[in-house]
């Protein structure tokens, strides 16, 4: 059987095309950033009943009570070049978490069980466990969950979401859509202010 020159060229072209596809399929995909086990970045003693202000760049954050009177910050996941700066002066502390990666960055912040919290988050996820004290929380976008140990501890509560869902938990009903808001007053000594640009804000027992 004879094979014409044009058929030979066509056959060779098909072979090269198939070889290129095979090589592409066998090429190694970009290696994802390594998963970092939790690593403590800062750890300082701090007396209970003080106040802490936090400036947090995007990521997934968990704020919980420490087993001792310390402020302790640990990073996990894709930590990249993230850094934590903590300064304390008497009964006030300032924490900044900066240079966080764009994805899969997680941080746990342990604080005394009774403390006033001011938290500014550029975006992501924020979970605040059962911590006694006043709270002033704002985030541009994402999910914010705040556990309320005892609703009777609060005298004034106001919460709002520009676009998204607001679950008032022990302070009322849920609402969603454009600009859901909550205003509540009681007999307690603490205040709670929470605002979210877009996402889900949940106040829970």
- pLDDT, greater one: 3 or 42: 42
pLDDT at 93: 98
67: left (phi over 0), alpha (psi -120 to 50) or beta: alpha
pLDDT at residue 36 in the model: 73
Q: What are phi and psi of 173, to 5 degrees?
A: -90, 170
pLDDT for 23 equals 36
- Report yes or no: 164 and 176 within 8 Å, Cβ to Cβ: yes
% of the chain with per-residue pLDDT over 70: 83
Structure pTM? 0.82
User: 149 pLDDT exceeds 60?
Assistant: yes
Tell me: the pLDDT tens digits for 163-179?
Answer: 999 999 999 888 988 99
Cβ atoms within 10 Å, residue 108:
17
| Mean pLDDT taken over the chain | 87
- Using CA atoms, how far apart are residues 69 and 135, in angstroms rounded to an integer? 19
Q: How far apart are CA 162 and CA 177, in angstroms?
A: 8
Whether 62 has a pLDDT exceeding 50, the answer reads: yes
Q: Domain extents for the chain? A: 36-204
| pLDDT given at position 34 | 62
Consecutive H or E run containing 170: none
Residues 136 and 130 sit within 8 Å (Cβ to Cβ): no
Contacts of 45 (CB under 8 A, 6+ apart): 69, 70
Band of pLDDT at residue 24, cut at 50, 70 and 90? very low
């Amino acid at each position: 059987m004879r094979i014409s020159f044009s058929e030979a060229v066509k056959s060779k072209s098909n072979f090269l095309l198939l070889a290129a596809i095979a090589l592409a399929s066998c090429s190694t995909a970009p290696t994802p950033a390594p998963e970092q086990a939790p690593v403590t970045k800062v750890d300082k003693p701090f007396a209970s009943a003080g106040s802490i202000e936090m400036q947090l760049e995007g990521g997934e954050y968990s704020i919980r009570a420490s087993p001792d009177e310390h402020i302790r910050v640990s990073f996990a996941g894709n930590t990249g070049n993230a850094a934590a700066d903590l300064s304390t002066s008497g009964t006030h502390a300032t924490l900044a978490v900066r240079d966080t990666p764009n994805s899969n960055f997680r941080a746990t912040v342990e604080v005394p069980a009774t403390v006033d919290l001011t938290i500014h988050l550029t975006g992501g996820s924020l979970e605040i466990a059962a911590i006694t004290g006043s709270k002033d929380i704002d985030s541009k976008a994402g999910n914010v969950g705040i556990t309320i140990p005892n609703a009777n501890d609060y005298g004034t509560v106001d919460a709002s979401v520009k676009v998204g869902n607001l679950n008032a938990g022990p302070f009322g009903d849920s609402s969603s859509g454009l600009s859901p808001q909550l205003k509540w007053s009681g007999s307690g000594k603490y205040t709670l202010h929470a605002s979210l640009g877009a996402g889900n804000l949940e106040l829970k027992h």
